[in-house]
Amino acid sequence: MNANALQVYLIGRPLSGKTTTFHALTGGDGEGHRRVTDVPDPRLDYLFDVFQPRRRTPAEIIFCDIFALKAAELTGRQADRFTAALGDADMLAVVINCFDEVAPDGRPADPVHDLDAVVLELVVADLSAVERRLERVAKDVKRGLKEAIREQELLQRCLPTLEAEQPLSVLGLTAEEQRLLRSLALLSLKPALVLANVGEAPAGEAPPAALATYAQSKGLRLVSFCAQLEAEIAGLEPTEQAAFLADYGIAEPATPRVIRACYETLDLISFLTAGGPDEVRAWAVPRDCRAQTAAGSIHSDLERGFIRAETVNYEEFSQHGSFEACRRAGVLRLEGKDYAVQDGDIITFRFNV
Ligand SMILES: Nc1nc2c(ncn2[C@@H]2O[C@H](COP(=O)(O)OP(=O)(O)OP(=O)(O)O)[C@@H](O)[C@H]2O)c(=O)[nH]1
Ligand SMILES: [Mg+2]
């Protein structure tokens, strides 16, 4: 993950509703194609009430709306531009037009085909990147560079998959192999989910069954909502939003559902810090992250000088209502550096530098 906030890039066919989805997820209209959004977390709201510090600092997620390209246009320079534009993404969210019966080119809409076409764009961009890298690496191999030989082998293993129009994610590369390829920012290796942009009526409509089945078969999570309606709702005052949601029978708006699906896709969890006068705060880390590494996501001093993590899970904390009560009840634990942080852990790091 990037140092500060998770970056999710919206991609999809032309006119699939990327920009509308961007507005729906980031709140009404406004400028720019990159916007920071708070990650909703009721546990943080609760802790803010209990401790009443000056600030409540949610985790953040960044949504980016980028231009669409057709696979046919994706050669050389264009592919480079596409790769460069998406290179920073931690994950991709593929917006699929499920609201039109007719595609922009006049043919009957086919969401499954659209999803395949987007994946193909990623594959074509990667193929061009891998081919060009292979040419460069060949020179280093001739000069006998050891690292280059390993990279060449790996790239040659990627080639047939891409030539068969399959994303590199199917190869199941190890973390070490992915590290070797990192500088290429390969797009079809990035985790992805599907956003089914369904029609307005009836609201909350399920995604097309064929798309849901297809996404599942590819191991992709899918979230379904009407981007246009959600964008309108996101532009309203909070008090009006509730009434609007009720009118349309929407149990939960798209933003928290999409953010949850992003966390699930990347297998991220949240831990919380609380107790000081300044802030309560939520932090995103990979599941089973070591306590010492989690400390480092706050500050390198905490990682370097790590002593222990005083930990209580939110579920237990909320039964007792204070750290003191948790201590008395014996549910406040002292965890060491290898403790696997759990979702909802409230942690106070003790450190010494
Ligand atoms: N009926 C309906 N129309 C929608 C919905 N979402 C988007 N649209 C319309 O579809 C058109 C394209 O939407 P955009 O959000 O601009 O699509 P885009 O993917 O950003 O388009 P490009 O950036 O040009 O590729 C606009 O006219 C939207 O109003 C929806 O949920 N329902
Ligand atoms: Mg757009």
Expressed in angstroms and rounded, the spacing between residue 10 Cα and the centre of ligand 2 is: 9
**Smallest CA separation from ligand 1 atom 7, residue:** 17
- List the one residue out of 274, 277, 293 whose CA is nearest residue 285: 293
Atom of ligand 1 nearest to the CA of 99: 32
What six digits make up the tokens of 116? 């395949």
* pLDDT surpassing 50 at residue 30: yes
Atom of ligand 1 nearest to the CA of 14: 25
Residue 312 counted as domain residue: yes
Residue 306 counted as domain residue: yes
Residue 94 counted as domain residue: no
pLDDT of residue 201: 65
Residue 332 counted as domain residue: yes
Atom of ligand 1 nearest to the CA of 226: 31
Structural domains in the chain (count): 1
Query: In a 3-state reduction of DSSP, which class is residue 273?
Result: strand
pLDDT of residue 2: 44
**Smallest CA separation from ligand 1 atom 9, residue:** 17
Q: Can you tell me the mean pLDDT for 167-185? A: 93
More confident residue, 81 or 298: 298
pLDDT of residue 28: 67
Mean per-residue pLDDT of the chain: 91
Strand partners, 313: 345
Expressed in angstroms and rounded, the spacing between residue 10 Cα and the centre of ligand 1 is: 13
- List the one residue out of 13, 195, 2 whose CA is nearest residue 92: 195
DSSP character string of 119-147: HHHHHHHHHHHHHHHHHHHHHHHHTT-HH
Expressed in angstroms and rounded, the spacing between residue 15 Cα and the centre of ligand 2 is: 7
Pocket of ligand 1 (CB under 6 A): 12, 14-20, 68, 99, 197, 199-200, 226-228
Pocket test for ligand 1, best of 16, 20, 118 (most atoms within 8 A of CB): 20
Residue 138 counted as domain residue: no
Residue 238 counted as domain residue: no
CATH of the domain at 293: 3.10.20.30
- List the one residue out of 23, 16, 216, 214 whose CA is nearest residue 96: 16
Beta pairing class for 91-98 and 6-12: parallel
* pLDDT surpassing 70 at residue 151: yes
Residue 136 counted as domain residue: no
Residue 338 counted as domain residue: yes
Per-residue pLDDT tens for 216-258?
999 999 999 999 999 999 989 888 998 988 888 888 999 999 9
* Cα 225 to Cα 232: distance, rounded to the nearest angstrom: 13
Which of 37-46, 89-98, 147-156, 202-211 is predicted with the least confidence, judged by mean pLDDT?
202-211
**Which pTM value belongs to this model?**
0.92
Expressed in angstroms and rounded, the spacing between residue 97 Cα and the centre of ligand 1 is: 8
The domain of 333 spans 288-351
Q: Can you tell me the mean pLDDT for 206-213? A: 92
Expressed in angstroms and rounded, the spacing between residue 93 Cα and the centre of ligand 2 is: 14
With a CB cutoff of 8 Å and minimum separation 6, the contacts of 159 are 127, 130, 131, 134
Atom of ligand 1 nearest to the CA of 65: 20
Expressed in angstroms and rounded, the spacing between residue 65 Cα and the centre of ligand 2 is: 7
CA dihedral 114, 116, 117, 121 (to 10 degrees): 140
